Amino acid sequence: MKILDLFNLTTEQQAKLTALGDVQVIEPADLNSSNVKSVDAIYGWNQQARTVLSESPKLKFVQSNSAGVDYMPLNDFADKGITLANVSGIHAEPISEMVIAYVLAFARGIVTTQAARRDQKWLGDQVRMQNYTIKNRTAVIFGTGHIGRAIAEKLQAFGTKTVGVSRHGKPTAHFDQVVGDDQGVVQAAKADIVINIMPLTPATHHFFDQAFFDQMRNQPIFINVGRGPSVDTEALIAALDQHQLAGAGLDVFESEPLPSDSPLWGMDNVILTPHISGGFQEYGDEAFDILYQNLTSFIQTGKVAVNKVDLSAGY
């Protein structure tokens, strides 16, 4: 089996794969017109992967190095019978920690005082009485998978009520309540914190639009660590301007990098981070563990062991 490595496998990781027997790792620089037609698997995704997709009749397995796969040609995979797996699960801890950081930054006055710091303003008395704890507050989390559950677990430790929104609406660990998609806006309208961790699909594109934000009655903080295009950026900016939202913590955007002329850059009640919430030092090792499980299983059975993507659902 020949696997194209597009995610910088270490020497040790490559050796572990070749030890499976009859496995050859092809580096991007070594891909050529001769071997491109014999690639069986791809680790990662970029333009070279698209070339392999179009030219290799042997391609049958793609292991994404991300959880979201909305940037991949899922319909082509389905048409060609290609199995796709992601690395869902490894982001739960870093992203949930990032969400807690956002929430506490707003609740404990860090956002306000850091904005004032630029003008050398000491706002101790003003901010002190505006600060709040997140105990007994309500957080509505759109998405109850690995990441959503990790966020809910951490928020519950602070005494926050957690409401999950999912397609199935079934009870889920670490959520005080789970509702179906049809009740998500109703719950968000009453929330203190609204968090998006949904995958990007046709159904979730611009899910958070003007109609959604118009329903907010409690001036919640809005956090997006899901996918940028799930949010209508213009509607979000308007909701912040009109104080429908108290603030926003944003790690993903419709256009990345965020355009230099975006009003979001200048908003004091917005935390901007450049799509880094899922990153951590051991990422490569944990992603490889999933690749290794899946490649081993695929060689033996023609099926992956974990994290198979439903190509019709998009996740």
Active site residues: 227, 256, 275
Cβ pair 134, 155 in contact under 8 A:
yes
Tokens 């997140």, residue?
A: 134
Bridge partners of 261?
none
| DSSP one-letter string for 274-311 | -S-TT--TTHHHHHHHHHHHHHHHHHHHSS-SS-B--T
Backbone angles phi, psi at 258, to 5 degrees: -60, 125
Bridge partners of 180?
166
Tokens 């506490």, residue?
A: 104
Q: State the DSSP code for 11.
A: H
Residue 66's closest CA among 283, 231, 305?
A: 283
Residue 276's closest CA among 98, 54, 23?
A: 98
Phi-psi domain of 136 (left: phi exceeds 0; alpha: psi -120 through 50; beta: other) = left
Tokens 């050529």, residue?
A: 32
Bridge partners of 166?
180
| Dihedral sign computed on CA atoms, order 218, 103, 271, 186 | negative
3-state secondary structure of 230: helix
- Report residue 280 as tokens: 């951590």
